[in-house]
Chain A
Amino acid sequence: MAASPDLIERESALQGLGVSRLRKEDARFIRGKGTYIDDITLPGMLFGAMVRSPYAHARIKSINKEKALAMPGVVAVLVADDLRPLGLHWMPTIGGDTQAVLADEKVCFQMQEVAMVIASDRYTAADAADAVEVDYEELPAIVDPHKAMDADAPIIREDIADKDEVSHGPRTHPNHIFTWEAGDKDATDAVFDNAAVTVKEEILNPRVHPCPIETCGCVASFDKVTGQLTVNVTSQVPHLFRTVVAMLSGIPESKIRIISSDIGGGFGNKVPIYPGYVIAIVASIVTGLPIKWIESRIDNISTTGFARDYHGIGELAADKDGRIKALRFFALADHGAFNSHVSATKLPAGLFSICTGSYDIPAAYCRVDAVYTNKAPGGVAYRCSLRVTEAVYLIERMIDVLAQKVGVDKAEIRRRNFIKEDMFPYTTSLGWTVDSGNYDAALDKVLNAVDYEGLLKEQAEKRANGELMGIGFSTFTEIVGAGPTKVCDILGIGLFDSCEIRVNPTGSAIARFGTMSQGQGHATTYAQIIATELGLSSDEIQIEEGDTDKAPYGAGTWGSRSTPVGGAAAALAARKIRAKAQTIAAHLLEVGEADLEWEIDRFKVKGNPAQTKTMKEIAMVAHTGDLPDGMQQGLDASEYYDPPNLTFPFGAYVCVVDIDRFTGETKVRRFYALDDCGTRINPMIIEGQIHGGLTEAFAVAFGQEIPFDENGNHLGNSLMDYFLPTSFETPHWETDETVTPSPHHPIGAKGVAESPHVGGIPCFSNAVVDAFAHLGVTHMDMPHSAYRVWQQCKALGIDKRDGA
């Protein structure tokens, strides 16, 4: 029976779950009235400018501050020796390592922080930074991670040379960080030894960088009178930031306030705690004045958390029909000079063990060896869901390699190996329990939409004509929503999250979260969840995040965790409120609670529908004396949610490319992306996330890399060289969906924003390799820039026109 117009109108007034409502946060951004870190000015504020090392590995012989200090307007020049008496020249990282705040006697990566000048304005600070004279003694640098554990390799981390572990298990060499493994090695090896078919490839996931348009920065302000430290900062994790600063500085955490207001893009780049923040805090404590430090773009690309740098070896064992029997993946991970990225204590290689993907693989083993090199620290960043980009890239590339080996169609081989609809929840041989999925439906829908048979025909014709056309797939399973505290923590703090809702007497509400949007639209989507739960319009539900004085404790926003964890907390907190409201309604209507049913925005008496109480009416009553005996006033609730599992969104992507064999240029003719993230809160916002994630995937696949020369010099650390796609070359994206809710999530939702990046990168790569598959090519490393693709054409002898 169709819903009545009245019900439709009431539902629509909520602008709640499932509606593509316009965003609430846009109002300030379209007027240029956002509050980003560099917009913040405080009275008496000074500016910090960093002095950085030009060498990748060197001893510091001396630092001469005289010329800099002599310049008018320069207040201080801080070096490690100035921080040493406070014990702040080194700091703990969220990866369980320690990192130099200012280089202490040696530098370990090019552009490492050596000194900070504090001056009255940014121009003076920059002039003075140039005047600081540092004498270095250059040391040989390790740039190739394969050489990091050679017997004669120079020791990078003299500060921990005597430590046999850095928070993640035993080390075998001074440049070794950890070795992590999962699965049953012996059982897996046995399957490989007896397999009918095996394939093996060396697969590189090159070092890249998230490069949000806004760089990192902070304004640190210490009040000497009250002892209160306030830090405005670009942080995706304001509460974790506060806790670490308390540990570092000795200031009680209750006297520290971290404020992240508007952030111009995070993508994981704004999770770590960077030396610049710590030095600014120290400078503020010492001077009692606010200190602003904003890094440059080159600083950002050169020194803040990079992504990937996984040197992988993928192996699959299968039968002759392409049915996978075992998986063996290995990666050598280049972490740079410090292990500074998000790492759960038990999961230093993140969620890499999701590498069995969407497939039912009976035996698996994976291992990651992490090493130090003389490069900037990082590794987990850039929409990666904690190494899931690395894992999915490996499995999606390898299944194509297998398909080519056994001569099975690349879509068909995936079907043969999919976890089937009736197998969920499915526990993989590496220990993850995938909550729900329907991979066949997604793949079928996509193949239909792009007319796969037609594309195959076209490809055969083009190949006969000497043209290069590629069809690439990615049928990926993601793992997001870190996470259950028994497995997921950072420095011991569990990765729960929280929501605190207060409904006021006139029926609007404010909800505060421990997560932190950097453009994901939380002010809108969280309001939509609560609107549907409480029967109040999302227009009247204000969402706040980012101010640790107000917001309940949480682990911030990264790894697509906001909807799975924060969204769950929101729904459950709202349900607590609705439960209390139900008790009040029953009291007002003089019936038992079981006699009431909830309809959109009100309680109705069963069998007597004229008897109703709306949430708005109840909100007012909750602040009066007309309440059931023993009930306190107020209509608030908070929920600290410890998820029982992560969520597993999935997708099926198809990419069609045409490659010019004379120039190596690739044209992405079509990209069709089907995503399943369970319950969809705001389809418009989801679509926007897919467009953005695919564009970043396009960047990674076709041109991004952070190259170094043999001395550890950066060779591409500005936007002159680092490829950020413009509107002109970015392809057109087609999006689609299926909906397979998560059985354990209160509203059945899964995260989604990283899926397009995780799934997109192998899809582009698979398309490019597929274009050459008929010529025997099984793998090509990224980036697939025109030059590199042309080199492949040249190697195959197809780069010249006839007669040339």
Chain B
Amino acid sequence: MANKHTVSFKLNGNDVDVVVEPRELLIHTLRERLAHTGPHIGCETSHCGACTVDLDGMSVKSCTVLTVQCQDAEVLTIEGFEQNGELHALQEGFTQKHGLQCGYCTPGMITRAYRLLQENPKPSEEDIRYWMAGNLCRCTGYQNIVKAVQYAAEQTPKEVS
């Protein structure tokens, strides 16, 4: 019987507390305890990237992070991008450039692209394709996703607090 731990962290700017077994994955905590179903599960080998969130300023695959590792961390998920009814430039870009079809990989894509643009505000197409290679998509063939990220880059998107 595993002992449980209380973990406190910031989720999209709000303080949250959860009580979890050490083995619980962050993706499950976010989706099931904290009702943030934006990040999705697409595999169990850390390949697809549908679970991508931003953790203390880094893109991570939340299927490979234990919730107990997140004590005092700052976690950003797709739900945190729209601020006061205003969409983030990336969300605008994905709509304008038809960068999604079924929408399943989209939260992970946007969250990953966010970190890309924070670190490299003017990426080339090759930069984008390389940086986003950890996020798989079956619907779009990536071409319009690249355009969506380029669109957002031109808007010089703000940091999400």
Q: Spell out A's residues near B (CB within 8 Å).
A: 22-23, 25-34, 36, 38-39, 41, 122-123, 210-215, 262-265, 267, 294, 296-298, 518-521, 684-685, 687-689, 691-696, 718-720, 724, 726-728, 730, 732-733
Contacts and interface: CB of A to CB of B under 8 A. Distances in A.
Contacts of A296: 44
B138 A30 contact: no
Contacts of A36: 37, 40, 104
Nearest to A122: B28
A265 B45 contact: no
Given A22-B95, A264-B104, A520-B101, A123 B37 contact: no
Interface stretch (B54-62, B66-74, B129-137, B153-161): B129-137
Contact of A691 (B78, B87, B141): B141
Contact of B100 (A30, A38, A691, A728): A30
B133 A213 contact: no
B34 interface: no
A229 B37 CA distance: 25
A33 B91 CA distance: 13
Given A22-B96, A692-B140, A213 B145 contact: no
Contact of B50 (A213, A520, A718, A730): A213
Contacts, number: 172
16 contacts: A25-B103, A26-B100, A32-B106, A36-B37, A38-B41, A123-B23, A213-B50, A214-B40, A265-B102, A297-B42, A695-B138, A718-B43, A719-B48, A727-B128, A727-B130, A733-B141
B141 A694 contact: yes
A692 B104 CA distance: 14
A618 to B, nearest CB: 33
Contact of B102 (A33, A264, A733): A264
Given A30-B87, A211-B138, A727-B146, A262 B103 contact: yes
A726 B138 CA distance: 9
A30 B104 CA distance: 10
Interface in B115-136: 128-130, 132-136
Interface residues of B, number: 57
Which 7 A-B pairs rank lowest in CB-CB distance, beginning with the nearest? A32-B38, A519-B102, A264-B104, A29-B103, A691-B141, A32-B78, A695-B141
Contacts of B136: 213, 719, 724, 726
Nearest to A31: B82
Contacts of B95: 22-23, 26-27, 30
A30 B94 contact: yes
Given A265-B102, A688-B98, A732-B143, A32 B37 contact: yes
Contacts of B36: 32
A502 B110 CA distance: 37
Given A32-B78, A688-B98, A727-B128, 12 more contacts: A28-B103, A32-B107, A38-B37, A41-B32, A213-B42, A296-B44, A695-B141, A718-B43, A724-B47, A724-B136, A727-B129, A727-B137
A640 B31 CA distance: 40
A724 B138 contact: yes
A126 B7 CA distance: 23
Nearest to B21: A123
A719 B138 contact: no
Given A32-B37, A297-B44, A726-B133, A212 B138 contact: yes
Contacts of B104: 34, 36, 212-214, 264-265
A38 B96 contact: no
A688 B50 contact: no
A716 to B, nearest CB: 12
Contacts of B32: 41
A29 B90 CA distance: 12
A33 B81 CA distance: 12
B77 interface: yes
A515 to B, nearest CB: 15
B44 A30 contact: no
Contacts of A687: 98
Contacts of A213: 40, 42, 48, 50, 102, 104-105, 136-138
A381 to B, nearest CB: 13
A727 B142 contact: yes
Contact of B37 (A39, A520, A693, A724): A39
A322 B132 CA distance: 47
B40 A38 contact: yes
Given A32-B79, A719-B45, A720-B47, A214 B146 contact: no
A384 to B, nearest CB: 15
B142 A32 contact: no
Nearest to A301: B43
A33 B140 CA distance: 19
A732 B138 CA distance: 15
A688 B144 contact: yes
B135 A263 contact: no
A297 B91 CA distance: 28
Nearest to B91: A30
Contact of A521 (B40, B82, B101, B110): B101
Nearest to B149: A727
B145 A727 contact: yes
A315 to B, nearest CB: 35
Contact of B142 (A123, A262, A265, A695): A695
A421 B146 CA distance: 39
B139 interface: yes
A691 B140 contact: yes
A388 B5 CA distance: 55
A31 B78 contact: yes
A30 B141 contact: no
A30 B106 contact: yes
Of B44, B103, B106, B134, chain A has the most CB atoms within 10 Å of the CB of B103
A27 B139 CA distance: 18
A517 to B, nearest CB: 8
A732 B145 CA distance: 12
A296 B50 CA distance: 14
Nearest to A212: B138
Given A32-B77, A519-B102, A727-B128, A214 B91 contact: no
A316 B6 CA distance: 71
A318 to B, nearest CB: 36
